[in-house]
Amino acid sequence: MRYLPHTPEEISEMLSAVGVNSLEDLFSTVPEKCRRKSELNLPERLSEWELNSHIDTLSGTMAVSPEYKVFIGAGSYEHHIPAAVSHLLSRSEFVTAYTPYQPEMSQGTLQAIFEYQTLTARLLGMQVANASQYDGASSLAEAALMAVRITRKKKVAVSRLIHPHYRTVLETYLKPTDCEIVELPYLQDGTTDLTQLEGAQDLAAVAVQSPNFFGCIENLQTISEKVQAQKTLAIACFTEPLAYGLIKNPGSQGADIACGEGQSLGIPRSFGGPALGMFAAKMKYVRNMPGRLVGQTTDVDGRRGFVLTLATREQHIRREKATSNICTNHSLCALASAIYMATLGGTGMKALAQLNYDKCEYLKGELRKAGFKIPFQQPTFNEFVVEFPQGFEKTYDRLVKDKFIPGLPLECHYRELENHYLLCVTETISKNDMDQLVDAIKTLEYET
């Protein structure tokens, strides 16, 4: 059965309405040389159970199958997800990311988003959070645009230690505008160098990530005070929100806007998606926030209810007044993270963060004892940088063959960091896994 159920008569009627004689005429604007003349070379069709069997076979050949020990984080983190998350998430009431326009019909979805906003605001220490963005990168870009709207200034200072992909997305967002990005270098301890801010003019915001891309924890308190003294907004970015179960959150350190990735809160990595953009700010900036905001109210009988309090998007208000594009929310991902945060609670979040920190410190210490250099001495969370000897790329390839993925090479993002690798450890990595990695690196290194 064809997917499009139109009869020949209906097709003819539609073609007549648009003023063409055939379906081929619809593509007349496509140059002849750009059109395919032959049929697609597709395999024979399969039944449903044959297709399932084929997919199972393919999954067994994936490069990162379960027996691989992966020590890469860099913005996407493997965490154990409580069974309650997938169970509650699969309820039919929640399987939609569509905007809940009619509150009388959408109380469940609206309440779920409200709970997500509440938990996000508490985790980040901010006064108000929106219903979420696409991902951490778009959250940072929207934060920069928000700062420009508030301050009416045209420059955004961005730490070089913010995730490289986030910075690329930010550049893409700002390129069509008259805004300018000022890049802040990093110090020898692996934190952001703020000396360029002295005497800087026309700055709308300063964006710093903590923990940063090297895993190092920035002093957001000092940064916020220095930035705000220049009447500029402080943007705190993050890729691992679990860190705030252990270290001080952005709000408690004076950040004006907190934004970043929420994937590690109950959302599987899934080879790169989907993701969750977390976004929060001080209440005085709420009307300049992107996306939408669910609020709590009462009905005519005094009962608690939920509504879309702010929805400053193109289909709601005049386009030139909109503060974000037409679709900016991942409701299902936001719900997953809300269930995850509620399941762990404050005590569980702190205990899990402590476990991640301890495991990371163990691997760092073992590599240091094995003679490998840890170049950045600033405290870290979950991940850290190691400098391996010249020629380690050959050892790296052999480790991959032995089903170890020993970190992310940093040279592709930071030219000056040849032979530097970013390693990540979460609660999913056992002590035995770490000991085997260190032993394998030592053995193979001595052979090269």
Give, in order, the Cα–Cα distances in Å from 390 to each of 373, 375, 394.
12, 15, 10
pLDDT at residue 433 greater than cutoff 60: yes
Residue 267 corresponds to which tokens in the numbers above?
């959302």
| Domains defined along the chain, listed by start | 69-80+345-447 (3.90.1150.10), 83-342 (3.40.640.10)
Helix and strand totals (H; E) in the chain:
10, 14
**Residue 2: what pLDDT?**
53
Per DSSP, the three-state class of 209 is: strand
pLDDT at residue 320 greater than cutoff 70: no
pLDDT at residue 142 greater than cutoff 60: yes
Q: Which pLDDT tens digit goes with each residue over 230-258?
A: 899 999 999 999 999 999 999 999 999 99
Confidence of residue 116 (pLDDT cuts 50, 70, 90): very high
Confidence of residue 124 (pLDDT cuts 50, 70, 90): very high
Residue 265 and residue 335 in contact, taking contact as beta carbons nearer than 8 Å: no
Tell me 444's DSSP state. H
Convert 379-391 to b/e letters by CB count within 10 Å (16 or more is b). Answer: ebbbbbbbbbeee
Residue 281 and residue 257 in contact, taking contact as beta carbons nearer than 8 Å: yes
Q: Which pLDDT tens digit goes with each residue over 36-87?
A: 888 888 888 888 899 999 988 887 776 566 678 999 999 999 999 999 999 9
Say which residue the tokens 């002093």 belong to: 219
Residue 422 and residue 410 in contact, taking contact as beta carbons nearer than 8 Å: yes
**Residue 135: what pLDDT?**
93
